[in-house]
Structure 1
Amino acid sequence: MDVTEVLLPGVGLRYEFINHEGNLIGIVVERTGGFELVVYESGDPDASRPLVRLNSEEADVVAEILGAPRIAERFADLTKEVPGLLSGQVEVRSASPYSGQPLGSTRARSRTGASIVAIVRGEEVIVSPKPEEVLRSGDVLVVIGTREGIAGVDRIIQG
């Protein structure tokens, strides 16, 4: 299936695809954290009918139900809109002082300014992990921030 990505300056990103019934479907990922699922009117790609609007928590639940592993891949796309904002991955190794500890104990965001937006644990993706989520050896943290911030998270996690 072909998915087209459209940058919406000041708004976010829109992903478009044609479903099995021939409808043009759009998912708007807003910079503010909101999501909107729309169907386009046939013959007019600029006219759409909103189907549902989701906040970030609701979108997380839907993503988990529909196959959350894809969401981590898309975080990198969101960073294209903001110069200097990058995404990176940090592995929690067995020697890490935070393996077996809650994410919040790292204080990574307050120490580096970078945000851990997901934890990839095998085939599972924990989107917007809570501070009490316990890190495990082998977890891969999806981090959004500056190059320095991401490197700082890596230094914290590795000890």
Structure 2
Amino acid sequence: MGTRRTPLPGVGTQYDFTTEDGRHLSVVVHHDGRRFLGFYRPDDPDTCEATVPLTPQDATALARLIDPAPADGIRTDGLDLVTGHIPVTRRSPYGGRLLGDTGARSRTGASVVAVLRRTSAHPAPGPDFRLAIGDTLVVVGTREGVDALTAIIGGE
């Protein structure tokens, strides 16, 4: 089992992973946030059999499936806080609207601490920050608050 990181000038970074049984996988992370997952032949670890493009939201969802409880939990004075990543999808009623329109903090108690956009990050966005389809909200709050905000942003 092992990993290797290779810079790809002008493109991004390739991360290669070899499983305990010798299978070779790779993830190419482009500078613009796109990712490609590559699967290599077991009998020839240099021959890529298939690639799967992943949006940032796809990559986050896959990471959650692989590790459903990453180091998100923060313990502060007896209060359990978690962080979450909430994608703004086409189904969201908030694409193109102001962050303040969500009423996030007053409705759920959760705080949006950053917005990740395809090519940039926006820390501590104010209520006048305009959300876009494809953004990912980085939020902090109780599990219930983060779950409630996920439902609100998702249009549920």
Under a length normalisation based on structure 2, what TM-score does the superposition of the two structures give?
A: 0.50
CA contact (8 A) 2:116 2:136 kept: yes
In proportion to residue count, which structure has more helix?
A: 1
SS at match of 1:154: helix
Over 3 Å counting, the alpha-carbon distance change for 1:86 and 1:155 in structure 2 is same
Aligned to 1:143: 139
Unaligned runs of 5+ in 1: 1-75
How far residue 146 of structure 1 moved from its aligned partner, in angstroms, is 0.6
Residue 106 (1) aligns with residue 102 (2): yes
Aligned to 1:133: 129
Q: Residue type matched to 1:148 in 2?
A: E
* Higher Rg: 2
1:26-70 superposed Cα distances (whole Å, 9 cap, x missing partner): xxxxxxxxxxxxxxxxxxxxxxxxxxxxxxxxxxxxxxxxxxxxx
How far residue 78 of structure 1 moved from its aligned partner, in angstroms, is 8.9
SS at match of 2:112: strand
Aligned to 2:58: none
Residue 90 (1) aligns with residue 92 (2): no
Under a length normalisation based on structure 1, what TM-score does the superposition of the two structures give?
A: 0.49
Task: Write out the 4+ residue segments of structure 1 that deviate beyond 2 Å after TM superposition.
Answer: 76-81
How far residue 80 of structure 1 moved from its aligned partner, in angstroms, is 2.7
Unaligned runs of 5+ in 2: 1-69
In proportion to residue count, which structure has more strand?
A: 2
Q: Residue type matched to 1:91 in 2?
A: P
CA contact (8 A) 2:89 2:154 kept: yes
How far residue 79 of structure 1 moved from its aligned partner, in angstroms, is 5.5
SS at match of 1:85: strand
Q: Residue type matched to 2:135 in 1?
A: D
Aligned to 2:74: 80
Aligned to 1:35: none
Fraction of identical pairs, as percent: 44
How far residue 95 of structure 1 moved from its aligned partner, in angstroms, is 1.8
Structure 1 CA distance for aligned equivalents of residues 119 and 95 of structure 2:
19
Alignment length (residue pairs): 84
SS at match of 1:143: strand
Aligned to 2:150: 154
Structure 2 CA distance for aligned equivalents of residues 78 and 94 of structure 1:
26
How far residue 123 of structure 1 moved from its aligned partner, in angstroms, is 2.7
Aligned to 1:122: 118
Aligned to 2:28: none
SS at match of 1:101: coil
